[in-house]
Amino acid sequence: MSALAGKTAIVTGASRGIGRGIAERLAGDGALVAVHYGHSEAAAHETVRAVEEAGGRAFAFHADLEKPDAVDTFYAALDAGLAERGAGPEFDILVNNAAASGSGRIHELTAEVFDRLFAINVKAPLFLVQRGLDRLRDGGRIVNVSSAATKRAFPESVTYVMTKGAVDTMTPALAKELAPRGITVNSVAPGYVATDMNAHRRTTPEESAALAAHSVLNRLGTPADVADVVGFLVSDDARWITGQCVDVSGGYKL
């Protein structure tokens, strides 16, 4: 039997990149996957199509996590999608992957960008957990996607790193709070992964090589590199791991 058979998983920001990789992995392990997207509807449906072509089950739903009513919109759309499939509203797995980047250096920062990044990267995952606690089954799993950049000085995107630092401190706090229900809460910290988020930094072979050199394995990560670790953390094999941040950076700046 598949490791996640009979379970329902939500992956935020799953239309592309790491989120798509996670959705495909969890569906491959047998879960019904709710593919959340903020803006890329066509890409989200591509994720669903890829899952279904591989024999899995998934559906897409929309919520703009920057908006003040983001959590209400999120759960209303999720409930509708689950109901269409005769499921829900309960679920077993929440992967907080959706994130915005691009804050720049301190002298480039604006209040608008600061507010946007904290709304999507910090406020949304925290309140998605809060609102979802009466739906998340006992023994469930929460995985937050952080960043290896929090472990080193990263002035190139100061606010983005601040948001991921908040994710790092939120994770063990939630792990302790939810432990009596058998719910584990962990995070993963990718390094440079070949996704749309950093495509502007690898427009030439030389730029790609420079990013790859941050890993001691001398390559860029792939969405599957991260998704496979998430797949482990949400499985029963990881039942004794909680409150941890797992580095999935290929040895970032060792």
User: In the 8-state DSSP scheme, what is residue 85?
Assistant: T
pLDDT tens over the chain, length 254 residues:
589 999 999 999 999 999 999 999 999 999 999 999 999 999 999 999 999 999 999 999 999 999 999 999 999 999 999 999 998 899 999 999 999 988 789 999 999 999 999 999 999 999 999 999 999 999 999 999 999 999 989 898 999 999 999 999 999 999 999 999 999 999 999 999 988 766 666 668 888 888 889 899 999 999 999 999 999 999 999 999 999 999 999 999 88
Q: Can you tell me the distance from the alpha carbon of 121 to that of 106, in angstroms, rounded to the nearest whole number?
A: 18
The answer to whether 252 is a known catalytic residue is no
Which one from 37, 75, 160, 192 is the annotated catalytic residue? 160
Superfamily of domain 8-194+223-245: NAD(P)-binding Rossmann-like Domain (3.40.50.720)
* DSSP letter for each residue of 114-162: HHHHHIIIIIHHHHHHHHHTTTEEEEEEEEEE--GGGGS--GGGHHHHH
Structural tokens at position 216: 């001691």
Give the integer Cα–Cα distance in Å for 18 and 97.
8
Displacement of CA 86 from its chain's centroid (Å): 25
Count of beta carbons in the 10 Å neighbourhood of residue 182 = 12
Instruction: Locate the domains of the chain by residue range.
Output: 8-194+223-245
Report, in this order, helix, strand and coil percent for the chain, each rounded to 5.
50, 20, 35
Strand order in the sheet with 32-37: 57-62, 32-37, 8-11, 91-96, 136-145, 184-190, 245-248
